[in-house]
Amino acid sequence: MPSSQTNPLLATLNTDQLTAVTVEGSALVLAGAGSGKTRVLTTRIAWLIQQGMVSPLGLLAVTFTNKAAKEMLTRLTGLLPINTRGMWVGTFHGLCNRLLRTHHREAGLPQLFTILDSSDQLSAVKRCLKALNVDTEKYDPRKVQSFINQNKEAGVRADKVDAWDPYTRRLAEYYAAYDAQCQREGAVDFAELLLRAYELLSRNALLREHYQDRFRHILVDEFQDTSRLQYLWLRLLAGPGTALFAVGDDDQSIYAFRGANVANMSLFMEELGLAAPIKLTRNYRSLSTILDAANAVIAHNRERLGKDLWTDAGQGEPIRHFQAYDDGEEARFVVEEIQARKAEGEAFQDMAVLYRSNAQSRALEHALFSAAIPYRVHGGLRFFERAEIKHALAYLRLAANPEDDNAFLRVVNFPPRGIGARSLESVDGDARAAGVSLWAAACQGGKKFAPFVQLIDGLRSQLAGLALVEQVEHVVARSGLLEHYQAEKDGQDRLDNLGELANAAAAFAGESDDQSLEAFLAHAALEAGEHEAAQGQDAVQMMSVHAAKGLEFHSVFITGLEEGLFPHENALSEDDGLEEERRLMYVAITRARRRLTLTHAQSRMLHGQVRYGMPSRFLEEIPEGLVRSLSNRVSRPQAAWREPAAHYVPPAPARDEARPFPVGARVRHPKYGEGVVGGYQGQGPDAEVRVDFAKVGRKVFILDYARLEGV
């Protein structure tokens, strides 16, 4: 191994980093969180060039974001006086685009082919279906788009689709027609970029051998996030004499929903005959208590290559754990902690509040807004600024006042109902000429607007006599928004947010004397105002755990640690679902440098109803010696401040023989173990009880046969 003492390029590397940078041939580097992954990757490139093992144009480096590629090139020029212009450093899509532009004839594409983003692709799918006279009620364009992309990302063309039923055969036909349309128009979607580049190298031996001979070293960042097709593309590019250098962390593989295949890491070692990965385990970010917690949680995953992070930076203070009575109290606790740390001199921007689902941000945002604490939602919009919430509020505004032109314009054709720009221009002209609202003109606007007018009129009459929460739920359900987002591949986040809107209404009703729809809409408008921190302003950072990957903060709050929320109930029924949720928890914990706080609530509003939950299993997986429990100290004078303290337990309602266990009670089942009663449905012998179990999620039993015992 070269000595770091004689080469300034290697002087700052620790022993494991030095091994990774100077290894001969192919290698898999298992780089733990905060272990200097980017430094190793860029230093490896610089060292290869410095030692004359490869020219700058003779290597290829793949990243997952343009930002990461730019940072790599910037760091590289800081290490060596080289010209990076012309180097093949970029994202998978960027490099495939470059390859296809260079060899467009061989790829069967025009030189100036167009790249379709997601919205452009959806428009192209809609045009294709319209040309085929397809019933879009039965074959939703978004589902067709998702079907096309999933097959392309798996490397499957339309004629190779496993069409095992008539519905799938139809989808395969539309896939083929869409591909033919794109070919005629010289258009390429994102999934096509990679698939077309892979097919080009697969069938063209001369071209493949040219690039295999050129790229003697291929380096891959975030290898745990590669899909099956991306892995195959890399293996095609790597010739017999090519060194493949992959850096990643199987414990941070959290993008299965985007096609990431963590099994690629083990496959890589097997196919290249590597005995073991090089492990980077020294962490330069977090204190020891935080790392010990992360190690303990991730150790429960069976399918991993295995490593433990360590540091010599010191133990640090215990992890703080707070159990709130409800989600409102949880949010107030987080705000109070933020205020205390600010008073100690910690900047807002060094504090991050993390949550598993974006819908959870609403209660937290409300608490921060009420306390006049500046905040910024990272990687997304504030709750009341999200498109689905604006759509729902527009329907509510029209139900309250149909003369609202802005609300009319937002939803008159959303979800799409065949009202085009020309029809809107016509009704706008009629409204201006008559000096009336768009609604009034639409009422006289003929059959194009008749279904929308009937919908709004129906909503207005149906809301009379309903409580505020019921009004919100009714409008969301009847407007067509739920069905629209259910058809989207990634629509669950939007559905969760729409459910959270009912929670916002319930919270408002509990705090306000005026519980009218108009008062709630005014409240929503105020919270949707310009309250987010300005660019450059010191502000608390709020984000989902997925958005937090790659970032680090002095203090981190991980909220909503309840079974069904984190880990998410949807993941518990999927292969590798629980293990990926645990990797998400590992990522969340390792974002903290100095202070980590974990919170959960005994009850939480869900779709306007109170849901009782059990603490997340991830809390139990952290050794007790690392955690300091806090008592309820927010908004409940009967729960005095003391540490450690018993948690506040809500008083149990009187026993009902027809419903033997109160909602929120802990029960035991002989097969499923301990759980919490979530609610009842029905009466008499067919009455059902719903129980949320720690290990298997939600189960529903006929009450007479439930076999439940109180704990």
How far is residue 585's CA from residue 579's CA, in Å, rounded to a whole number?
10
How far is residue 288's CA from residue 309's CA, in Å, rounded to a whole number?
9
The two three-digit tokens of residue 531, written as one number: 């309250």
The one catalytic residue in 179, 222, 527, 580 is 222
On the question of a cis peptide bond just before residue 567, with omega within 30 degrees of 0, the verdict is: yes
The three-state secondary structure class of 387 is helix
The one catalytic residue in 356, 591, 594, 633 is 591
The total number of residues shown for the chain amounts to 711
Q: Return all residues near 127 (Cβ < 8 A) that are at least 6 apart.
A: 181
Strand 673-681 vs strand 688-693: parallel, antiparallel, or unpaired?
A: antiparallel
Mark whether 591 is an active-site residue: yes
Contact 194, 93 (CB under 8 A): yes
Q: Return all residues near 570 (Cβ < 8 A) that are at least 6 apart.
A: 492, 577
The one catalytic residue in 252, 311, 471, 541 is 252
The two three-digit tokens of residue 174, written as one number: 């539309």
Q: Return all residues near 160 (Cβ < 8 A) that are at least 6 apart.
A: none
State the angle between helix axes of 468-478 and 387-400 in degrees (0 to 180), rounded to the nearest 10: 110
The three-state secondary structure class of 171 is helix
Mark whether 117 is an active-site residue: no
Contact 295, 319 (CB under 8 A): no
Listed residue (593, 407, 615) closest to 518, CA to CA: 407
Q: What DSSP designation does 569 have? A: T
How far is residue 633's CA from residue 464's CA, in Å, rounded to a whole number?
40
How many alpha carbons fall within 13 Å on the CB side of residue 417? 19
The one catalytic residue in 221, 250, 327, 365 is 221
Cα 393 to Cα 144, 368, 458, 475, 530, distances in angstroms: 29, 22, 17, 9, 18
Contact 375, 365 (CB under 8 A): yes
Mark whether 67 is an active-site residue: no
Listed residue (378, 383, 370, 358) closest to 331, CA to CA: 370
Contact 364, 331 (CB under 8 A): yes
Mark whether 252 is an active-site residue: yes
Cα 505 to Cα 362, 396, 499, distances in angstroms: 11, 12, 10
The three-state secondary structure class of 243 is strand
The three-state secondary structure class of 565 is strand
The two three-digit tokens of residue 276, written as one number: 């073991």
How far is residue 268's CA from residue 238's CA, in Å, rounded to a whole number?
12
Question: Which residues partner with 279 through β-bridges?
Answer: 30
Mark whether 138 is an active-site residue: no
The three-state secondary structure class of 65 is coil
Strand 666-669 vs strand 673-681: parallel, antiparallel, or unpaired?
A: antiparallel
The two three-digit tokens of residue 56, written as one number: 């700058």
Mark whether 304 is an active-site residue: no
Q: Return all residues near 623 (Cβ < 8 A) that are at least 6 apart.
A: 292, 293, 296
Residue indicated by tokens 């194009």: 448
Residues annotated as part of the active site? 37-38, 221-222, 252, 591
